[in-house]
Each structure stands twice: as structure tokens, then as C-alpha cells.
């Protein structure tokens, strides 16, 4: 059996519910950390796709593809932490991201919960993944 796999980043509000076909009794979307048991080597394929996505965080602007038009640095950091599965130092994260010239401040603010409003940012080149170093 030969498997060919592709992965794509798509905004969750643009994804339709999957529909079962003749070879599947039921289908659904699952959070990455709650995937059901898979057949054949599919778990290894999924793990490799996740590994490659996480590796791209270090040298590309791919994380911005998960962000809405306006976002805070805390929201962006949450994406990095979710994908990596570990916490990042807030100060070092902000320093690195701001030095990369991939986002720009909008002059607006966003309020999340009862905290004071945070600066809002946007991607400089939305819908485009760039190599950074």
C-alpha cells in the first residue's frame, strides 16, 4: 500500500463539515491532540506533517496563516505554543517576532477579557508564507 499525503492550512471558518463516503461510516474534524486511532501508517504520516509544520515556525512566516486580520502578540504567541506543545518566554518571543519585519502595528488596540487593551498587529504580507532568518 502506498500513501501520498498533503497538508494545507485553512481558516477554520472556511472549512465545511466533512461528509462520509462509501468507504467511511462517519467522518469528523478532530483537534490534533484528540485524534482517534488511525489505520495503517496514518498516525506516522500525521506526526510527520506536524513535525514539518513546527519546523517551519523557525524559518518562515507560516504561523501568520493561523491569524485573523488583526491580532495581538499574545494571540500569535499562543499559536506558536499550541503548535510546539510548549510555552515560550514572552519577552524573547516578542523581541524575535518584532525584529523579523513580518508584522506591523495597526495603531488599534484589542481587549481580551478584563485585561488592559493590547496593541493590534497585522501581517505585512497576508496570505503569503515567506522564508525568514
CATH of the domain at 89: 1.10.10.10
Quick check: is 132 in a domain?
Answer: no
Which pLDDT band, with edges at 50, 70 and 90, does 96 fall under?
Answer: very high
- pLDDT band at 60, cuts 50/70/90? very high
CA dist 38 and 46 (Å) reads 10
91: in domain: yes
Residue with cell 492550512: 9
| Domain span holding position 116 | 12-123
Q: Is residue 42 part of a domain?
A: yes
Count of domains in the chain? 1
Residue 48: inside a domain, yes or no? yes
- On whether residue 69 sits in a domain, the answer given is yes
Asked if the model's pLDDT at residue 17 lies above 90, the reply is no
Global pTM? 0.85
Rounded to whole angstroms, the Cα distance separating 90 from 76 reads 11
**Residue 109 and residue 119 in contact, taking contact as beta carbons nearer than 8 Å:** yes
Q: Which residues of 58-84 are buried (b: 16+ CB within 10 A; e: fewer)?
A: eebbbbbbbbeeebbbebbbebbeebe
Tell whether 100 is covered by a domain. Answer: yes
Amino acid at each position: 500500500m502506498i500513501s501520498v499525503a498533503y497538508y494545507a492550512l485553512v481558516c477554520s471558518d472556511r472549512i465545511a463539515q466533512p461528509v462520509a463516503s462509501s468507504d467511511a461510516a462517519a467522518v469528523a474534524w478532530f483537534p490534533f491532540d484528540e485524534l482517534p486511532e488511525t489505520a495503517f501508517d496514518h498516525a506516522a504520516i500525521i506526526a510527520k506533517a506536524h513535525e514539518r509544520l513546527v519546523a517551519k515556525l523557525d524559518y518562515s512566516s507560516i504561523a501568520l496563516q493561523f491569524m485573523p486580520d488583526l491580532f495581538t502578540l499574545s494571540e500569535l504567541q499562543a499559536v506558536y505554543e499550541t503548535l510546539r506543545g510548549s510555552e515560550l518566554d514572552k519577552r524573547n518571543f516578542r523581541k524575535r517576532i518584532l525584529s523579523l519585519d513580518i508584522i506591523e502595528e495597526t495603531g488599534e488596540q484589542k481587549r481580551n477579557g478584563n485585561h488592559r487593551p493590547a496593541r493590534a498587529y497585522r501581517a505585512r504580507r497576508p496570505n503569503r508564507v515567506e522564508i525568514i532568518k
